[in-house]
Amino acid sequence: MENDRVLFNPQLSIKIGQTNVPFKNLRFKTNEDIYWKVQIVEYNSTEKSLKVKIIDYQISDYADFKRQITNKEIERLVFVEKFDFLKLHPLLMSFTKGKLNEHIINFEEVFKPVQGKPSIGPIKPHVPIIKEITDGFHVNFKDAHFMLGYVTFTKRIKEIDKKVDFQIFNDHILPEFENIKYWFPKKLKTKNFFVKVIVSTIDNQLNKATATSREIDQITPDLIESIKYLRTITLTRESKHKDVDKSLLLQMIFFHKSILTILKGMFSSNLSRIYWRF
C-alpha cells in the first residue's frame, strides 16, 4: 500500500484513486512498507471490479505478495467494510478527522483517555512538509535491468542520502531483453541513457520517485526487430570464420524467433491489463 498506488505484486498495481480508500484525507507513512492481507468477496467481470475484506493490516510475512498473479482484469478495488482506525492509525503519517468519519470505525477508541491519565485533548492535524527534487544524470545500460514493461535501476539521491529504485516504463520491453541488452548501446550509439527524475518527499521521507528517458522511449518494435536481424547476421558471419557449435547457433536463431512471436502477441493484445491473485 502506497499513498498513490495499491500494489498487487512488485510489478502490477492500480492508482489509489481507483479504490475507495479515503486518500485525500489521510497519508500513509513512507518510511516503512505496508502490506495488507485481504479476502476476496466478489469479482464483477462487467465492471472489472474486485471487492475485498481486510483480514490483517500489518503482515510480516509477505512472500506470497511477490508470487501472486491473476487472470482477471481489475479497474476498481473496493474494500467492503469500513476501515478499523485502531489498526489503521499506526500506519498513518497524517489524517483529517472530520472527513474520515464516514469511512472508519473505532476512531474515538484510539484517543480514549486511559484511567488515571488525562485526556490528550483536541487533536491538532499534522501539516506534512512536502518537497520535490528534480535531477538528471546518465545510467549505463549494463547497470539497468529489463523487466516486463519497464527498465529499472538504482541511484543514490544525495538530497535524502538514500538509494532509490527507479522505473522507466515502456510497453515494448520484455524480460527476455536482459540477455541482449548490450545490443541496445550498439544500436542507439551510446553506452549510457540520460534520465530525468522527480523525487518527492514528505517530512524528509521518500514518497514517490518517477523517471523518464528519451533513449528508453526509442526502444520500439522497429528497433527490436533491427537488433534481432543484426545479431543473427553477426552470428552467421562468425560461424564462417570460427569453429562455432552449430547447435548453439540454432538455439540463438530460435531465441530470436521466440522474441518475435512474443512481440506479435503483445501488440495484438490489450497492454493495459492488470492481473492479480491473492
How far is 71 from 12, CA to CA, in rounded Å?
Answer: 12
What mean pLDDT do residues 40-62 have?
A: 88
* pLDDT cut 90: percent of the chain above it: 29
Quick one: which H or E segment has residue 136?
strand 130-140
What is the tens place of the pLDDT at every residue in 73-132? 888 999 999 888 888 888 888 888 777 878 888 877 776 665 555 555 555 566 778 889
CB-based contacts of 112, cutoff 8 Å, min separation 6? none
Residue 61, class by beta-carbon neighbours within 10 Å (0-12 exposed, 13-18 middle, 19+ buried)?
exposed
pLDDT at 250: 52
Torsion from C-alpha of 79, 81, 84, 87, nearest 10 degrees: -50
Q: Is the pLDDT of residue 32 over 80?
A: no
What mean pLDDT do residues 180-191 have?
A: 91
What mean pLDDT do residues 207-232 have?
A: 90
pLDDT at 269: 47
CA angle 73, 78, 80 (to 5 degrees): 135
CB-based contacts of 167, cutoff 8 Å, min separation 6? 147, 150, 151, 152, 211
Beta carbons of 152 and 216 less than 8 angstroms apart: no
How far is 52 from 232, CA to CA, in rounded Å?
Answer: 49
Domain boundaries of the chain, sorted by first residue: 5-110, 130-267
Terminal C-alpha separation, the chain: 14
pLDDT at 276: 42
How far is 221 from 177, CA to CA, in rounded Å?
Answer: 12
Q: Cα-flanking dihedrals φ and ψ of residue 124, to 5°? A: -95, 120
Q: What is the CA 228 to chain-centroid distance, rounded?
A: 29
Amino acid at site 146: F
Q: Cα-flanking dihedrals φ and ψ of residue 132, to 5°? A: -130, 130
